[in-house]
Amino acid sequence: MTQWAKTDTDGPEPHGRGGPGPMIDAGAELDPVHPMKPPRPAGRHTGLTAAEVAEHVRRGEVNDVPVRSSRSLTEIIRANVFTRFNAIIGVLWVIMFFVAPIQDTLFGFVIIANTGIGIVQELRAKRTLDGLAVIGEAKPTVRRDGVAAEISTSGIVLGDLVELGPGDKVVVDGEVVEADSLEVDESLLTGEADPVLKHPGDSVMSGSFVVVGGGAFRATRVGREAYAAQLAEEASRFTLVDSELRNGISTILKYVTWMMIPTAIGLIISQLVVHQSNFKDSLARTVGGIVPMIPEGLVLLTSVAFAIGVIRLAGQHCLVQELPAIEGLARVDVVCLDKTGTLTEGGMDVRELRPLGGADEKYVRRVLGAIGASEPRPNASLQAIIDAYHDDRADWPVTAALPFSSARKYSGAAFTEPGSGGADGTAKRSSGWLLGAPDVLLPEGDPALRETDRLNREGLRVLLLARAAGELDASDAAAGASATALVVLEQRLRPDAADTLRYFAEQNVAAKVISGDNAVSVGAVAGKLGLAGAEHVVDARRLPTDRAEMAEALESGTVFGRVTPQQKREMVGALQSRGHTVAMTGDGVNDVLALKDADIGVSMGSGSEATRAVAQIVLLNNSFATLPSVVAEGRRVIGNITRVATLFLTKTVYSVLLAVLVACFQVEYPFLPRHLTLLSTLTIGIPAFFLALAPNRERARPNFVRRVMRYAIPSGVIAGAATFATYMLARHYYVGADALSAETSAATLTLFLVSMWVLAIVARPYTWWRIGLVLSMAALFLVVLAVPALQHFFALKLVGVTMPWTAVAVAVAASAALEYCWQYVGRRFPA
């Protein structure tokens, strides 16, 4: 009889949670991330034959839904090229080709270069993600010709017999043909939280997963006909939408469009109708006024920053299944950690066996060995028992099994073993055994619990072997159980866990350890790792059910034990109700509901297929130490995009203001496109690229639009007003045929100096390379002013001494106003 019992006080741990698994053929080729599942008894169903599989493949009855972790090449090109602002700039660029010299069409070439960079970076991210998705892809076990083997999801054909165990994801629709206490969670599809008990003949839907028991089902719908195929494809798609950052940028661009249209119309009327001047020159200055209103590089730079973030994380074996997860991690202020597999390594060792009530140790060893032999997919706890008592196991037929449940905290098995009633010792008797949490199986006050508590305080895990008083399938199977022995297990702490917890503390991210294990034991482990507050542990069975009261307990507590899967989900919701951004880590099927509801779900690569399916981020190297790097990358991306957005939107504000002032005062627009292309490149384009990729450890904060515009609007207003003031002073100072060129040069100098001061403020806090960046941009502008060929190319030549120094004086006054304004805004309107 095939058995599927699970035995662990902390929940099922598919694939051994990184620990040693059952014996596997040494010649078998193992996936480096997901070790091959141990072979299971074939049962009475042998599955399809090779000939039948070939026939289904010939008919096209294959699960051919593509696994997509990124946008297609066509989608990438379309998203980067065919934008609203690129269309506007493209039309203006074509116009300038016919009416202006090449210098005034430079803005078009810059857009082409920037768009090309965006496409190349996203293609690099696509190749990286597609490669990682193949590594992290679920590999279901399919039985063919009576032999079970792992294959890729796309290799399943109609009619295949797919085996299931705890934590396995149902990858295609099917009909159950074998069931051994099989319970399936369909909450991701139906919203129903309670697992559904499945019997032979029942249907299973793709997207659900096994929580208890095991069995096999026959695929009845594959490919795009499967219930959740399109949902799964959409969920795994690399996306650039649905995040506060991108929604904020979209909102800003919408407002910019509304401002730009009437302003551009007024500028056109002013330059072409009201002010009678040279048509081509007026048209060029009109375009020069419209182009800088468009923050075209902001969206592009955001895409590039995200793509580079994905590539950097991929280098650390981290699969980002949903791109906004990078942004979410930057905002995380609470991280909920599962103990087993996160703070501790998956493997365990039996440290001691303590028989109780005069039980014979040799007999206890045989019972434990028999329980271990009955489990084809042991977790880390049971694997330690198998390793310790494999040679002592009794060869007793298994008559019943009680699969592990995270809610019960124990599992069981019944055997037919030799009795002592016959003269020859051959009389048979049935014995039922339970293996699980002592504080669940024993009543309060039992003497064995005092010893259990003492061992738990040392950070040891303790399982109780108890003889069942009744049937295993009874609702109160643990009632009346008699304690037989304590199995003391020693857990292996992750060597990097202490440093990781220290990092979170330094970054003001609260770490909450939420485990199904004994609370005292969890607290001892957390204490060894230096987690603050670990000495005050909370037994989750005593937590209030009211969300507000639970949230209060979670705020004050750090370590929680005996947490059920449903409680994990409720605890995440309670923290979120307090305004926290919550990240949840886990690898067992008992973590799925909490991972799904958390703002960011982080799964280990060796975790169950269900956890990897719902998590936004998968740590393929199973290293908890990778998490700080992931959080830091998110902060770098979001913090820097917020920083450089101020530069782009300052330009938009001063461009709109200049256009309005020009229209109101009925004067020529002071700049040609070449002037603003030069200014944008030196004060925004080049610096923004470097600043967007710089280290940034500041935690991202909400209200992106408000935080950016509170600086961009006053900065743009000051820059625009100072530039227009210099321009009007120059109009009264210069006379003659070349007066407009001199006026433009003076206004350009003021605008450059004020924009450089905005850049200098944004670049803070200063480092050697930030100072070098600002000085380099200033030096390049001086080169343009000093080299005659560049003077001619950009139509820039400072005439005389009085007006250039006046332009500098106006810029200094504006910079002082900028400095005061930024400090005032920072105090008056804190983020």
Helix axis angle for 739-762 and 802-828, nearest 10°, is 30
Q: With contact defined as beta carbons under 8 Å apart, do 462 and 452 qualify?
A: yes
Q: With contact defined as beta carbons under 8 Å apart, do 408 and 212 qualify?
A: no
What span, in angstroms and rounded, lies between the C-alpha atoms of 290 and 269? 13
Q: Which residue has the tokens 């880590």?
A: 585
What span, in angstroms and rounded, lies between the C-alpha atoms of 170 and 147? 19
Q: With contact defined as beta carbons under 8 Å apart, do 326 and 650 qualify?
A: no
What span, in angstroms and rounded, lies between the C-alpha atoms of 319 and 316? 9
Which residue(s) pair with 512 in the sheet? 336
Please, how many CA atoms are within 13 Å of residue 781, restricted to the half-sphere of its CB?
A: 25
Burial readout 55-89 (b: 16 or more C-beta within 10 A, e: otherwise): ebeeeebbbebebbbbbeeeebbebbbebebbebb
Burial grade of 556 (CB within 10 A; 0-12, 13-18, 19 or more): exposed
Residue 338 annotated among the catalytic residues of the structure: yes
Bond preceding residue 765 cis, omega within 30 of 0: yes
What span, in angstroms and rounded, lies between the C-alpha atoms of 701 and 675? 36
State which H helix or E strand residue 336 sits in. Answer: strand 334-337
Length of the chain: 831
CB atoms within 10 A of CB 258: 10
| Residue 410 three-state SS | strand
Burial grade of 498 (CB within 10 A; 0-12, 13-18, 19 or more): middle
Structure tokens at 14: 């598919």
Annotated active-site residue in 10, 104, 168, 338: 338
State which H helix or E strand residue 361 sits in. Answer: helix 361-373
Contacts of 51 (CB under 8 A, 6+ apart): none
Helix axis angle for 704-733 and 739-762, nearest 10°, is 150
> Which of 584, 582, 604 lies closest to 593, judged by CA?
584
Q: What is the DSSP letter of 165?
A: -
What span, in angstroms and rounded, lies between the C-alpha atoms of 675 and 679? 6
State which H helix or E strand residue 733 sits in. Answer: helix 704-733
What span, in angstroms and rounded, lies between the C-alpha atoms of 37 and 446? 39
Q: Please give the backbone phi and psi of residue 409, each rounded to the nearest 5 degrees, phi first.
A: 75, 20
β strands within 406-496, DSSP E: 410-418, 428-436, 461-467, 482-493
Structure tokens at 356: 């109780």
Q: What type of residue is 118? A: G
The catalytic residues are: 338
